[in-house]
Amino acid sequence: MNREEILVKLKEIIKPFIGEGVDFDALNEESDLINDLKINSAHLVDIVLDVETEFDIVIDDDSINDMVTIGSSLDVVEKMMA
């Protein structure tokens, strides 16, 4: 699975959790999950669990802390899938 395919799936996982008024179509790799997308910390846990299920991976605590932007989240997923 390439980076673009992972991005599409990741955006679909994130979509239900983005805050009100956030333009889903404007999401990019630089989008900050908390500041730009207005995702709260409880929902970040849900996103991690959904990502683990979707990609059949386990994300360790250190890697969870690295998941700040969509791009860094992609990096973590790619690393765990390798």
Q: What is the pLDDT of residues 24-79, one digit of tens each?
A: 999 999 999 999 999 998 999 999 999 999 999 999 999 999 999 999 999 999 99
The SS3 assignment for 4 reads: helix
Q: What is the pLDDT of residues 5-25, one digit of tens each?
A: 999 999 999 999 999 999 999
What's the predicted TM-score (pTM) here?
0.92
| pLDDT recorded at residue 21 | 93
Give Cα 1 to chain centroid, integer Å: 16
In the chain, the largest separation of any two C-alpha atoms, in whole Å, equals 35
Which domains does the chain show, CATH number per domain?
3-81 (1.10.1200.10)
